[in-house]
Copies of this chain bind each other. A is one copy, B any other.
Amino acid sequence: MLQTGDQFLVKKINKSIVLETIKKNGPISRAQISEVTGLNKSTVSSLVNELIQEEFAYEIGLGQSKGGRRPLMLLFNTTAGHAIGVDIGVNYLLAVLTDLQGNIVQETMLTIANLSFENIVDLLKQTIQALIDQAPPSKYGIVGIGIAVPGIVDEHGQILFAPNLGWENVDVKSIIQGHFHLPVTINNEAKAGAMGEKIFGVGKGIAHSVYVSLGIGIGTGIIINNELYKGCNGFAGEMGHIPIEPNGKKCRCGNRGCWELYASENALLEQAKALAIPPAPNEPEITLAHLVTLADEGHHEVINLFNQVGEYIGLGLTTIINTFNPELIVIGNRMTSAEKWLINPITRIVENRSLAYSRKQLRIQFSGLNMHSAVFGAVSFAIDDFFANTRISL
- The answer to whether B233 and A360 touch across the interface, beta carbons within 8 angstroms, is yes
Contacts of A2 in B (CB 8 A): 17, 37-38
Contacts of A355 in B (CB 8 A): 235, 238, 241, 253-255
A245 within 8 A of B: yes
Query: In the assembly, what is the distance between CA of A2 and CA of B324, in Å?
Result: 24
Contacts of A3 in B (CB 8 A): 13
Contacts of A234 in B (CB 8 A): 325
Q: Which of A17, A230, A233, A327 has the most CB of B within 10 A?
A: A233
Residue of B220, B255, B353, B360 near A254 (CB, 8 A) is: B353
- The answer to whether B4 and A236 touch across the interface, beta carbons within 8 angstroms, is no
Residue of B12, B242, B318, B358 near A322 (CB, 8 A) is: B242
The closest CB in chain B to the CB of A311 belongs to B246
Instruction: Give 1 or 0 for each of A202-222: 1 = CB within 8 Å of chain B CB.
Output: 000001100000000000101
Query: In the assembly, what is the distance between CA of A360 and CA of B160, in Å?
Result: 13
Query: In the assembly, what is the distance between CA of A7 and CA of B5, in Å?
Result: 9
Contacts of A9 in B (CB 8 A): 5, 10, 13
- The answer to whether A152 and B357 touch across the interface, beta carbons within 8 angstroms, is yes
Instruction: Give 1 or 0 for each of A88-103: 1 = CB within 8 Å of chain B CB.
Output: 0000000000000000
Beyond the given A154-B357, A161-B357, could you list 18 further A-B residue pairs with CB under 8 A, ordered by the A residue number?
Answer: A1-B38, A2-B17, A2-B37, A2-B38, A6-B10, A9-B10, A224-B224, A225-B225, A233-B358, A235-B325, A236-B323, A236-B324, A236-B325, A238-B357, A242-B318, A242-B319, A254-B352, A255-B353
The interface of chain A, by Cβ under 8 A from chain B, is 1-7, 9-14, 17, 36-39, 152, 154, 160-161, 207-208, 220, 222, 224-225, 229-239, 241-246, 253-256, 315, 318-319, 322-327, 352-358, 360-361
CB pairs A–B below 8 angstroms (21 shown): A2-B17, A3-B13, A5-B14, A7-B10, A10-B10, A152-B357, A224-B224, A230-B325, A235-B325, A236-B324, A238-B357, A242-B318, A243-B244, A243-B315, A243-B319, A244-B246, A253-B355, A254-B353, A255-B352, A255-B353, A319-B319
